[in-house]
Amino acid sequence: MSITKVFAPAKVNLTLHVTGQRRDGYHLLDSLVVFADVGDRITVMPADQNRLEVIGPRAKGVPTDGTNLVARAANLFGVPVHIVLSKHLPAAAGIGGGSSDAAATILALSDMVGDTRLPEGVADLGADVRVCLMRQAARMRGIGEDVAPCPGLPPLYAVLANPGVDVPTPEVFQALENKQNQPLPKRIPQGMKTGPFIDWLATQRNDLEAPAIARSPVIQEVLKTLSDLPGVRLARMSGSGATCFALFETEDAAQAGATALTQSQPDWWVEAAKLS
């Protein structure tokens, strides 16, 4: 077995419709998910015993014990490994950092042991892990178990911004007043150009935006600041927050927006990204 490296991209919910709640408390979702070209990095190497090391600009406060999803994912394989998680994404931020890290760990270990079958217990790692294993534009329904690829989406250029506040997902769902909302249309548009597709996205929603803002009003400030960037076509929150995104029609416009936002909000996490 050799050293294996896997990229763990940020997950962005372009839409997030909450369509119901099961008796066991789990919420039913209908979400269009894409992935950014920014993210964390996982390196897995053989070892005598399991060890998780966290480095990088966002390593502070990230657990290295068995509570980390990376460690839990690695334990499913029963193979002792040393994992280095290079953390670049903020935690508890609505962009699936932990889930994407877990998915990358599964992919790395599957490659290392030469078995592409998913180990038992993947579902216990969380609702977002399955879509993160797909690593491409997808529609996620139910509690995350119903995942289907969404081909034919145009290139999307974004600025991602997080003000540095943690927003616990359970609290946001608990604050959601209406849990019976309309799902996405039956068919996701295919073959559209970027501008018209963003116009279509603007007719959809993130139902968690209002309860997240009620808990952390700074999210409203982030959305307002993103909306004021030159050339922005849509600003919306991802997941349960606090990360928000602004969409642009060109890569140059997104890069310029990220530069301007970094200068005006130096304490925020800001990245320009291509979404696919």
Which residues are designated catalytic? 11, 128
CB 10 within 8 A of CB 91: no
227 is in an annotated binding site: no
97 is in an annotated binding site: yes
Q: Is 83 helix (H, G, I), strand (E, B) or coil?
A: strand
Q: Which residues of 199-222 are buried (b: 16+ CB within 10 A; e: fewer)?
A: eebeebbbbbbbbbbebbeebbeb
Structure tokens at 163: 């003000």
Any residues with CB less than 8 A from the CB of 131 and at least 6 apart, and which? 11, 33, 138, 140, 144, 147
Estimate the crossing angle of helix 251-264 against helix 218-227, to 10 degrees: 130
Any residues with CB less than 8 A from the CB of 196 and at least 6 apart, and which? none
| Whole-angstrom distance, CA of residue 233 vs CA of residue 248 | 6
The residue type at 267: D
CB 83 within 8 A of CB 105: yes
- Burial of 120 by CB count in 10 Å (0-12 exposed, 13-18 middle, 19+ buried)? exposed
152 is in an annotated binding site: no
238 is in an annotated binding site: no
91 is in an annotated binding site: yes
239 is in an annotated binding site: no
| Whole-angstrom distance, CA of residue 35 vs CA of residue 93 | 15
100 is in an annotated binding site: yes
93 is in an annotated binding site: yes
127 is in an annotated binding site: no
Binding-site residues for ATP: 90-100
Binding-site residues: 90-100
